[in-house]
Amino acid sequence: MHSFEYKNGSLFCEDVDLQQIAEEYGTPSYVYSAATLRDNYTRLDEALTELDHGIEYAVKANSNLSVLKLLADLGSGFDIVSGGELKRVIAAGGDPAKCTFAGVGKTRDEIVYAIEQGIYCFNAESEAEVAFIDKVAGELGKKAPVAIRVNPNVDAKTHKYISTGKSENKFGVDFEFIEAAYERASKLENITLRGLQMHIGSQLTDVKPFIEAAEKVAPLAARLKELYGIEFFSIGGGVGIVYSPALASGSTEWWESHTEEARPLTPERYAVGVVPFLKDLGLKILVEPGRYIAGNAGVMLTECLYEKKGTAKTFKVVDAGMNDLIRPALYEGHHEIVPVKEPTKQTPHITMDVVGPICETGDFFCQNRDLPDFAEGEFIALLSSGAYGFVMASNYNTRGLPAEILVDGDSARVIRPRQSVDAILESEIANL
């Protein structure tokens, strides 16, 4: 569920009218709901109460400092994939000792920085990386905590770009080689084997792949605990969100109108599926949600600039582009699009492409979609944009990054101002 709904003829985030947000702060802008962020974190935390567990929010999903601070205040740890993300966590008041550092290509500088800051663990993706961490730690005269990521060869049945748990993916050590990898790592002088990690993919809407992976890897975790004294087993993230119908899924009534079997995956069903395989391991269980926490907590607002009617299509040209939200162009990611002004029964529906100003044919947010009509100068919202939205934005076509706004109850504040073109050019001008 989430906190976006129509009230009084306009789309609201919690108790704030998004029409007013768009008019006051301009577009394109990302708007996040603090209540939804808190609710998503709390529901997952409560679903896992049967386990000794920790939530490591995946910073890559949405790394705004105010979002990280909100989650840190709830007690969250953080899953990071760069030294820059670790700096963000620290700047937001997060605890490095509750951070796990993932990613396949950690550099020397990143490893040094992470060791110096006292992170909880490196999640190593290969034996070569473990050897490199050992070498860097030795040069510092320290021991580095390491978990090796196992690739369980489980098909997450998600988009090929966000599947990570099969043998052909670049992540982790193949299941059949992992025990030998731990044996060799145990002989390294500057490594402490602290845990085991896996992550099979993102945006999973069926609990079965999670169950398959937990059932397969839990016995391995038990053996590694006995042999090397590991203290945690990270089962990764991947719980999906509702992209369609996104707006309707914000209400309790929508969920209650579906049978348990027909509902999208919830944290409660996820926990019921995996907890039986984990509760008797005697290990701390870490989870690494990103999209689940932030995805449906945000929308992107954009203004309709023009309508272009051709012989084949009707185009609605908006002021946001693929540089602002790349998911549709990158891997055909779906975002529900709704007018900020609530449609009435008399509002016509038309088949349209919603496109941006970028000089690329791939610069679209939807194609051939039946939507309530909206006019030039009106605002629309792209729902479920809180994860992998702003963090993947760019300055392509020399366009400034959009503003980010956090709503909490009836208050709204800018948590990142809109980037000006002058700011983009500043460093280059200084080096002419």
Question: Was 77 annotated as part of a binding site?
Answer: no
Question: Was 96 annotated as part of a binding site?
Answer: no
Question: Was 298 annotated as part of a binding site?
Answer: no
Question: Was 184 annotated as part of a binding site?
Answer: no
Question: Was 388 annotated as part of a binding site?
Answer: yes
Clarify whether 366 is annotated catalytic.
no
Residue with tokens 């702003």: 390
From the candidates 121, 304, 359, 366, which is the catalytic residue?
359
Helix, coil or strand: residue 281 = coil
- How far is 107 from 128, CA to CA, in rounded Å? 12
CA distances from 195 to 183, 204, 304 (A): 13, 24, 50
Retrieve residue 129's tokens. 């990386």
Retrieve residue 295's tokens. 């995805």
Residue length, the chain? 432
Kindly give the residue spans of alpha helices, DSSP state H, lying in 297-338.
327-331
- How far is 64 from 84, CA to CA, in rounded Å? 12
**Strand 337-339 to strand 173-174: parallel, antiparallel, or no bridges (unpaired)?**
unpaired
Q: What are the φ and ψ backbone dihedral angles of 285, each rounded to 5 degrees? A: -105, 120
DSSP codes, 69-94: HHHHHTT-EEEESSHHHHHHHHHTT-
Question: Was 327 annotated as part of a binding site?
Answer: yes
- How far is 132 from 108, CA to CA, in rounded Å? 8
Question: Was 263 annotated as part of a binding site?
Answer: no
What residue numbers does the annotated binding site for substrate cover? 291, 327, 331, 360, 388
Which residues contribute to the annotated binding site? Answer: 238, 288-291, 327, 331, 360, 388
Binding residue numbers for pyridoxal 5'-phosphate: 238, 288-291, 388
The residues annotated as belonging to the active site are 359
